[in-house]
Chains A and B, each alone.
Chain A
């Protein structure tokens, strides 16, 4: 009986494991092949392998970093394709998204953005930079965890203050409770909306990077936004710019770029994976 159960369990385990094994193996093999190609100075092959591994579900910070390196290597070769710098920026952004403490990626991304801005200024006489919207700027003052912890601490302070005020009659304790209550309420009113906004932005918007030489701003029908509506900028988003996707409809994506909210073609974006 025990032997039969063991056999059944083994079969079940095999049935569960077997379908996923080749996929895992192939994506790892693709990633390794990409790394080898990168070392051998074959950036296009490396890109193909890294992209395949990524398509098959492998998401790691170092894979994104290496992909960025492969795109950057190709960008300086005769095989350079339009959008390679944007793809490199997307890879570095993705690496930072997965590991925000990656100083190398951050440094490389800064240098790359500066280079893209320089090239754009050289080609079009303008280096376009966008300031984030006020809401995103305030929320971005601290990491999400900070707002969460502050909100939690505020809630504890308010609870403690209320408890002490109700339970203890001593004047000094009541004073302390009052201070705790006031401080806690203030902090709660500040940190809770920010924690909620940070969660909303994280849930409802997806970070993405422009991977075409420039993305034209469109309206929801796909027609190019005319200059007055684009309010002061030439109606394009530069390559490598970080945007946030709010909504997708067909082949268009509604993106937030700085304070601008407009539609762009999905083909001009690379949505970053966390």
Chain B
């Protein structure tokens, strides 16, 4: 029997206890295996705030520094967790390397610093972070930091001291990438965010160069302007194009930018990546921050009016209350490109040869056998648009090869400066002392007009080629070959002498303005003439018919009677009677002469005439008879004619019922 003291573990209890210890041991081991490297790495993370107390709207910097071993992958994707109401700019990432040698053993560490510029918009106590970064595929986080945000003006004003923005030491401002201590070269040299706590040097508006000035702000927030100088150039003359960005915000930076438009121009980028020109420019009554974002030297290739320097840029406008990204397109510059003047243009001048050049030559050797060659080296030095070739002195017996060109040309002082070397080989076939002539380059100098750079090549002594040695087999003459095609064409052509006699080309018939109207004019005139003839004929016929009409004849008879009555003759009665009878016949169709007088009224009334007018007709005819058969005075005749005329007028204006 096994006795067991009280409290002594029983065998099964012991085994259980051992298992328990093993399990814990395993757990601790697993924990150490999993977490120790992390702990080791985590110890190398460090988060710093540039200030623990800031005012609303005041920017402070959060900086996360990570140190990793040589073998580790470089940390990447830094991230910062921020409470609502905070605006962050960044991160800006910089790297550093640390090498330490201890007991002859070297160790190397890499450091990555990620910085955020953070601006609070609300007062309160906040937790900033944690900031984290990916190392070896795992995201590691550092401890969160606390920050107190006070209302504006709550913090005591610090005395002025040479301290960089955000509390970082002088020369290290991660948000001024263009500053002297900046870890990386930014794209746009934005003007620094002015710190009201710093005493800025007094701004002198007169110190702003003219090219930076603009008459008025094209946009209250930001705008971009391109400026060309000079604005009128000749083909080949270089001009400088500068693009300036302006912003009314305290600071700005570029987010993206397109290329500058410069069609029909050869461009040389003069923008200095390491030094961005930034200054303050007064526009109206406001002070703008301005940066020169591009500088190009352009060489125009053709004549015309051009707009150059258009680019689109996204600008981040930064203020204490945050940042805003705006997109702006620059106002292009107008450039007029003209040809150099025709007056005084030298022979051989090629469009685009502009500048100021000197020409130096070297010829070697000075004596060759016929058929041999000399080397001619020409250096064209100066400033301007260097030509691709020189004017060579061609002549019979001297054949120049195409030149080999070497050059050393670079933009300098607003023009291409340097030299271009042309190397020719001239084959000489004419025996004797041959004057090679001059190499020349006519060019246009914008400040002095046309000039010619010239260099004399001098004389070369061409001696006869050695005759074949004795015993040497004379070379067979080459077999006659068909002339090359161009030679064949040249054989068809001979220079013509009458180059000044222009054959005046007579203008074509259809070039004259009257030609096409004339084509239609003939037929139209004929048709018109025929139509006119027909119309005249019709008018004549109509006139004749009218003359035969009763009313017309009555009117004529009445006029005749009136004429006779004026002379006091009694003969007026006859035409008067004709007029009355004619009118009656015209109106009623009744031939009044064939009707008995006492039946006349009745007949006429039946014919449609009113009783009154019928009665008037009877009376007038009666009176005519009286005048004719009794001795009447001329006065009575005149009255009769007047009455008759009145009656005729009334009858002619009378309309029969239903007629």
Contacts and interface: CB of A to CB of B under 8 A. Distances in A.
A64 to B, nearest CB: 9
A195 interface: yes
Nearest to A147: B510
B302 interface: yes
A72 B493 contact: yes
A158 interface: yes
Contact of B516 (A33, A72, A98, A196): A196
Interface residues of B, number: 55
Interface stretch (B128-136, B340-348, B576-584): B340-348
A31 B484 contact: no
Nearest to B525: A159
Nearest to B305: A250
Nearest to A32: B499
Contact of A158 (B490, B492, B522): B522
Contact of B515 (A108, A111, A148): A148
A272 interface: no
Interface string B512-534: 00011011111101110010010
Query: Counting chain A CB atoms within 10 Å of each CB, which of B345, B348, B484 scores highest?
Result: B348
A41 interface: yes
Interface of B: 263-264, 302, 304, 342, 345, 347-348, 391-396, 399-402, 484-490, 492-503, 505, 508-511, 515-516, 518-523, 525-527, 530, 533
Nearest to A118: B485
A66 B495 CA distance: 6
Contact of A62 (B488, B496, B527): B496
Contacts of A212: none
Contact of A48 (B391, B495, B521): B391
Interface of A: 28, 30-35, 37-45, 48-49, 52, 55-56, 58-63, 65-66, 68-69, 72-73, 75-79, 98-99, 104, 107-108, 111-112, 115, 118, 144-145, 147-149, 151-152, 154-156, 158-159, 162-163, 166, 188, 192, 195-196, 198-199, 202, 222, 250-251, 266-267, 274
A72 B255 CA distance: 56
A32 B391 CA distance: 19
Contact of B394 (A31, A44, A62, A112): A44
Contacts of A198: 510
Given A56-B342, A76-B487, A162-B530, A35 B508 contact: no
A39 to B, nearest CB: 6
Most buried by A among B498, B499, B501: B499
A32 B489 CA distance: 23
B497 A162 contact: no
Contacts of B487: 76
Which interface residue of A43, A58, A68, A199 has the most chain B CB atoms within 10 A? A199
Nearest to B533: A166
B347 A155 contact: no
A151 B495 contact: no
B527 A162 contact: yes
Contacts of A49: 347
Contacts of B503: 60-61, 98-99
Contacts of A59: 502
B55 to A, nearest CB: 55
Contacts of B499: 31-32, 34-35, 60, 62-63, 66
B509 A152 contact: yes
11 contacts: A30-B347, A52-B345, A62-B496, A78-B400, A115-B489, A147-B510, A151-B510, A152-B519, A162-B523, A196-B516, A199-B508
Nearest to B426: A78
Contacts of B263: 222
Contacts of B525: 159
B509 A145 contact: yes
A145 B508 contact: yes
A115 B485 CA distance: 7
Contact of B501 (A45, A60, A199, A274): A60
A239 to B, nearest CB: 14
B394 A159 contact: no
A202 to B, nearest CB: 8
Given A30-B347, A152-B518, A250-B304, 20 more contacts: A42-B394, A44-B348, A48-B347, A48-B348, A52-B345, A69-B495, A72-B490, A98-B502, A108-B493, A111-B492, A115-B489, A144-B510, A148-B509, A148-B515, A152-B509, A155-B523, A159-B525, A162-B523, A163-B526, A199-B510
B523 A149 contact: no
Contacts of A99: 503
Contacts of B526: 159, 162-163, 166
Contacts of A98: 502-503, 505
A35 B400 CA distance: 21
Contacts of B347: 30, 33, 45, 48-49, 52
A251 B493 contact: no
A183 to B, nearest CB: 13
